[in-house]
Structure 1
Amino acid sequence: MRKGFMKCIKDVTAVRKSWGELPLKFALSMVLGVVVCEMAAGALLAGVELQTQLLILRLVELIVIGLLINYFKMGDNLGLGRPDAEGVRVFAVLAAVTLVLFVILLLVFWLLDYALLAHLAAPPWLAGLAGLLLMVLLAPVVEELLFRGLIFRLLRRSFGMLLSVLLSAGCFALMHGQPELPQIFGGIVFALAYEWSRNLWVAVALHASANAAALLFVLF
């Protein structure tokens, strides 16, 4: 299995596309758009239930980012096309490894000290269909566009692959407010998947599956 995994990675590394230039104007517009959305949400949705706030915020952010991607014609640059055969192979291998290791990490945390995972059950936005939509659909797409499509790509312009992966994973973990091994591990895996496949949908799919695993762990 190890030989097959390494062969898969080498094959993809050999045929993967080179990174295109990420225009600074697009990056700044994307950051500004997200900041404006966050500020507007805080002002306009102050009296709204938290779950509804987050749902509206992520949906608006996704629309704004989508409009910017379309305006700057950045779809191909970010790797938002259909994954090729090699990209699908990488996704299949990494999805299996990620799921197993992620569940093991959660189980270890639970066995050592349940309090380490207690915050996962606390947020009210995890409940119901809206929580599922947020965690498994909207959050993975928006966060992958920001942390892999933008932050990782900007770091990748100036630093090597390894340092860019680690730094972007650190930013991703800090964004969650209480960074722990699952977030750091996830950030590393999502960035590696994007680096090797050059397709952002592969990272989105892995992120969504990891979130679904965490949600199921909390619920059951």
Structure 2
Amino acid sequence: MPEPVRLLVASRNTKKLKELRRVLEAAGVSGIDLVGLNEVPEFPEAPETGATFEDNALAKARDGAAATGLPCVADDSGLEVDALNGMPGVLSARWSGGHGDDAANTSLVLAQLSDVPDGRRGAAFVSACALVVPGGAERVVRGSWPGAIAREPRGDGGFGYDPVFVPEGERRSAAELTPEEKDAASHRGRALAQLVPDLAALAAR
């Protein structure tokens, strides 16, 4: 048996690694060993200062590939709210000031939408995923998951803004879906699915 190809996932979020693993399994892709940032020597990571999700994802994937010599997948994702002119967007993780305070970020969005009627609470989760192969190809794809913002948080699955995001055609919030349901529909799942042919080719090398 050939050695599996090691693929760096530029994240310390174990849920993201599990999500990509499930996407690969569902697509029947084997021969890839996913490793997170916690499993490689530390390297300086550039700040996420890009104007778009694509800019940030590509910068993270390039950094990871250059530092480790491994092909690298990185994503940048967030919530775009229609009534907030597409914000928080690339600022989603630090919307309330600190980085990654899910409860504070969610509370701020709800407060900003407190006077917005149900018919104008449209939103979408957006994910850009980049794959960079050292000395080889670069590819960036985008997935979008449309829906609306609920009046209060519901459910304890997922992370980030999931408890207040109700996907199109659903009554439940994203935090009330099973992991499998979320993978099949989510922005990151949709973006990662577009990279499956590239990852399958990588595994076959």
TM over 0.5: no
TM value normalised by structure 1: 0.28
Higher strand share: 2
Q: Which has the higher contact order (CA 8 A, sep 6+)?
A: 1
TM value normalised by structure 2: 0.29
Higher helix share: 1
